[in-house]
Amino acid sequence: MVTETGTHTFESLELDCGVTLSQVDAAYETYGSLNADRSNAILVAHAFSGDAHAAGDGGWWFNMIGPGLAFDTDKYFVICSNVLGGCRGTTGPGSINPVTGQRWAMTFPQVTIADMVRLQKKLVDRLGIERLLAVAGGSMGGMQALEWAVTYPESVAAALPIATTAQHSAQQIAFNEVGRQAIMADPDWAAGNYYGQKLPGTGLKLARMVGHITYMSDDSMREKFGRRVRANETSPGGEQFEVESYLQYQGYKFVDRFDANSYIYITRAMDTFDLTQRGALGVLFDGMKARFLVISFTSDWLYPSYQSLEIASALRGRNCDVAYCNLDSRYGHDAFLVEVDKQKEVVAGFLASTFRDVTRQKAQPQKVQRG
Amino acid sequence: MVTETGTHTFESLELDCGVTLSQVDAAYETYGSLNADRSNAILVAHAFSGDAHAAGDGGWWFNMIGPGLAFDTDKYFVICSNVLGGCRGTTGPGSINPVTGQRWAMTFPQVTIADMVRLQKKLVDRLGIERLLAVAGGSMGGMQALEWAVTYPESVAAALPIATTAQHSAQQIAFNEVGRQAIMADPDWAAGNYYGQKLPGTGLKLARMVGHITYMSDDSMREKFGRRVRANETSPGGEQFEVESYLQYQGYKFVDRFDANSYIYITRAMDTFDLTQRGALGVLFDGMKARFLVISFTSDWLYPSYQSLEIASALRGRNCDVAYCNLDSRYGHDAFLVEVDKQKEVVAGFLASTFRDVTRQKAQPQKVQRG
């Protein structure tokens, strides 16, 4: 699989909050080859804690992107970039403010999902792609896919919002708020100015523990841990539940790779994302040209199926081209990362038919011209 | 309503862990009057963060216990006591260790649900009650009701486990573990030795925020908060979501009335509670004489209905006297505190028929003697 890794820097980026950022980096990777008429490019948008490294060893969607996989790199040119506000190469609160020469920290402007997509659009333009074959993503990646279709309807042939929503519910906001409060309660957070000092690891670890519970289902936790215990000398009785040990380990691991301020900024972007602010979903989708494949998972209680159904219903109500698959799974929200076979079955076919349509559309005007 | 408040002190209490506590206080309240043959006493067991003040102004079950209510104090004598390990009058980690003259803090032995019930049994004995008409409680209170029926089958005519389980699932343990870690991560926790100093309020507040999310349902949170915002000058954009403000307020309030070490001890007691450790539930219930009313609520995702159904099925399978009601509610786990009318309908009738049975049983032997 041909893979490229890079960073593009953009002179300026206007944000929803009114601020204009200058010298904005967008870290990205690409997999596969762009075809001659540049019609086979798919943008894959990552979820909250992901990054540009989507495919190959250690990639967050390694099982979905590659030769012969759901996003088949023998056919398509797949792009993934780290989101604005992130901490994995793209400009975020941990970056240097070019004006002050200091880290932004909490002086970084509050970014939105639309801001993230605006930066992705610049990147896609820079890569010389006029129209994406598809934008796909799970969770916060799905929000970006929706945002792309609504904001740049001429620039995307298909959208695949997976395990996502058009707006966070009170419960989704609440879980994110617990994570933010856990970070900000850590004295090492120091109002965000911890760079070069002790990281707010305790708070970030706690936030991640809560997150992990919401990513799994009651069933999958039972299957994976049940009530099994393991030795732990600091616990009463000398043992602890395996689920306790697992969550703590996941929390620790996360501290090594994620910036606490990015956690705060990105979760706020998710919480404030609300497509319905611009009008009823149906009205928003009126005249929508992109095709949609909306996917949810039966046991996902963090992004429940009814939220995907709302999107699909609104699209269908406006006579848009939409397929909705509520895939059976026990894996909760994590399903979009692990239910590979079930997703491949619907994704591969959807992409193939979209590619056929796009190719036909490109061919037809030429025929007319000849006639 | 005749109300009495008191504390009884017991010379010693043997714990499951092998330790024997001495000079153990049990704070309690009673409502209504004990009848002449002492057959109308109902023990009400409180949930995790409750206390002995169950009825009347500010009582945690004020809407369920009182004249004409589900637990009708015109008919029954209702007892409620603060649990062992608690912080509202009964001995717990915040109490003075009589041997050292210092607070127990984290040297307090790890208590179990069975230990809590053992202390309650001593209290009920002290009050001169040989056999309870019923033991009732929601959530952790339901665990105590189950424990009573299994451990003291001769001492309880009926059990009402509500919104509870015979053993915590991995998910239930996980949420409790997040709360414990939040407390222990607070530097003010100081390994539990914060008494007389600054309380670990930040950690305890966080723990309570997580708890509150799990007590509500997705629906009830939408109804109560939706995506409504309110002014908040410290938030980006000058506003925050109402659900954020609510959770923070609930967290702050909790710090004033609850001891962080009790939080750790009591949640561990819940997590290690496991009736099935003594054998399959069916075997455990074999020959059970107590009648059961098992209640769950459709939207309770913290203590899902299937856990109550497991209890009811095991009882039914051993030909025990059991009724199971899965009450329709949108209020999640909080339903056992707020769905008053629905619970009253089934509880009042169940208690009345139990009281009739108990009265008849008492009367019959006398008739035989006369003959």
What is the per-residue pLDDT across B201-215, written as a single tens digit (0 to 9) for each?
Answer: 999 999 999 999 999
B333 is catalytic: yes
**Residue corresponding to tokens 């996989």:** A69
Q: Is the pLDDT of residue B303 over 50?
A: yes
Average pLDDT over residues B233-260: 93
**Residue B287 to residue A46: CA distance in whole angstroms:** 57
Determine the angle formed by the axes of helices B242-257 and B201-215, rounding to 10 degrees: 120
User: What ipTM goes with this model?
Assistant: 0.94
Is B309 in CB contact (< 8 Å) with chain A? Answer: no
- Supply the pLDDT for residue B365: 64
**Residue B310 to residue B303: CA distance in whole angstroms:** 12
Q: Is the pLDDT of residue B6 over 80?
A: yes
- Supply the pLDDT for residue A363: 84
Report chain B residues whose CB lies below 8 A from the CB of A185: 186, 202-203, 205-206
Is B170 in CB contact (< 8 Å) with chain A? Answer: yes
- Supply the pLDDT for residue B364: 76
pLDDT in tens, B42-78: 999 999 999 999 999 999 999 999 999 999 999 999 9
**Residue A142 to residue A65: CA distance in whole angstroms:** 16
Contact check, Cβ <8 Å, A243/B301:
no
B300 is catalytic: yes
Chain A residues 92-151 within an 8 A CB cutoff of chain B: 110
pLDDT in tens, B252-279: 999 999 999 999 999 999 999 999 988 8
Q: Tell me the shortest Cα–Cα distance from A124 to chain B, in angstroms.
A: 30
Phi then psi dihedrals of residue B23, to 5 deg: 55, 60
- Supply the pLDDT for residue B234: 84
The fraction of chain B above a pLDDT of 70, given in percent, is 98
Average pLDDT over residues A52-69: 98
pLDDT in tens, B70-111: 999 999 999 999 999 999 999 999 999 999 999 999 999 999
- Supply the pLDDT for residue B130: 97
**Residue A82 to residue A43: CA distance in whole angstroms:** 12
Distance of CA A146 to the CA centre of its chain: 11
Contact check, Cβ <8 Å, B110/A241:
no
The fraction of chain B above a pLDDT of 90, given in percent, is 93
Q: Is the pLDDT of residue B317 over 60?
A: yes
CATH 2.160.10.10 fits B172-269, yes or no: no
- Supply the pLDDT for residue B362: 83
**Residue B211 to residue B334: CA distance in whole angstroms:** 11
Count Cβ atoms within 10 A of the Cβ of residue A321 and give its class: 0-12 exposed, 13-18 middle, 19 or more buried.
middle
Q: Is the pLDDT of residue A366 over 60?
A: no
Contact check, Cβ <8 Å, B171/A236:
no
The residue annotated as part of the active site, out of B139, B217, B262, B296, is: B139
The CATH number of B3-167+274-370, from 3.40.50.1980, 3.40.50.720, 3.40.50.1820, 3.10.580.10, is: 3.40.50.1820
Q: What is the pTM of this model?
A: 0.95
Strand ranges of the sheet holding B41-45, from the earlier edge strand across to the other edge: B3-14, B20-31, B77-81, B41-45, B134-138, B158-162, B291-297, B322-327
- Supply the pLDDT for residue A208: 97
pLDDT in tens, B105-134: 999 999 999 999 999 999 999 999 999 999
Average pLDDT over residues A111-122: 98
Q: Is the pLDDT of residue A294 over 80?
A: yes
Contact B295, B158 (CB under 8 A): no
**Residue A37 to residue A177: CA distance in whole angstroms:** 45
Report chain B residues whose CB lies below 8 A from the CB of A221: 169-171, 174
**Residue A349 to residue A328: CA distance in whole angstroms:** 18
- Cβ atoms within 10 Å of B204's Cβ, excluding its own: 26
Contact check, Cβ <8 Å, A243/B174:
yes
Contact check, Cβ <8 Å, B222/A168:
no
Superfamily of domain A3-166+273-370: Alpha/Beta hydrolase fold, catalytic domain (3.40.50.1820)
Q: Is the pLDDT of residue A237 over 90?
A: no
Average pLDDT over residues A324-348: 98
Average pLDDT over residues A84-92: 98
3-state secondary structure chain A: CCEEEEEEEEEEEECCCCCEEEEEEEEEEEECCCCCCCCCEEEEECCCCCCCCCCCCCCCCCCCEECCCCEECCCCEEEEECCCCCCCCCCCCCCECCCCCCECHHHCCCCCHHHHHHHHHHHHHHCCCCCECEEEEECHHHHHHHHHHHHCHHHECEEEEECCCCECCHHHHHHHHHHHHHHHHCHHHHHHCCCCCCCCHHHHHHHHHHHHHHHCCHHHHHHHCCCCEEECCCCHHHEEEHHHHHHHHHHHHHHHHCCHHHHHHHHHHHHHCEHHHHCCHHHHHCCCCCEEEEEEECCCCCCCHHHHHHHHHHHHHCCCCEEEEEECCCCHHHHHHHCHHHHHHHHHHHHHHHHHHHHHHHHHHHHHHHC
Please name the residue of chain B whose CA is at the shortest distance from the CA of residue A201. B185
- Supply the pLDDT for residue A303: 98
- Cβ atoms within 10 Å of B98's Cβ, excluding its own: 12
Phi then psi dihedrals of residue B65, to 5 deg: -120, 120
Contact check, Cβ <8 Å, B243/A210:
no
Contact check, Cβ <8 Å, A110/B247:
no
Question: Which residue of A170, A203, A271 is in closest CB contact with B221?
Answer: A170
Q: How confident is the model at residue A238 (pLDDT cuts 50, 70, 90)?
A: confident
Helix (H), strand (E) at residue B347: helix B340-370
Mutation test of the interface with chain B: which of A165, A171, A180, A255, choosing the one with the most B Cβ atoms within 10 A? A171
The residue annotated as part of the active site, out of B46, B168, B212, B333, is: B333
Q: Is the pLDDT of residue A371 over 60?
A: no
Report chain A residues whose CB lies below 8 A from the CB of B105: none
**Residue A227 to residue B202: CA distance in whole angstroms:** 29
**Residue A233 to residue A236: CA distance in whole angstroms:** 8
Contact check, Cβ <8 Å, B206/A181:
yes
- Supply the pLDDT for residue B371: 41
Count Cβ atoms within 10 A of the Cβ of residue A250 and give its class: 0-12 exposed, 13-18 middle, 19 or more buried.
middle
Question: Which residue of B171, B185, B274 is in closest CB contact with A213?
Answer: B171
Q: What angle do CA A27, A32, A37 make, to 5 degrees?
A: 100
Q: Is the pLDDT of residue B370 over 70?
A: no
What does the domain layout of chain B look like in residue ranges?
Answer: 3-167+274-370, 172-269
Question: Which residue of B170, B206, B209 is in closest CB contact with A227?
Answer: B170
Beta strand residue intervals within B102-176, DSSP E: 134-138, 158-162
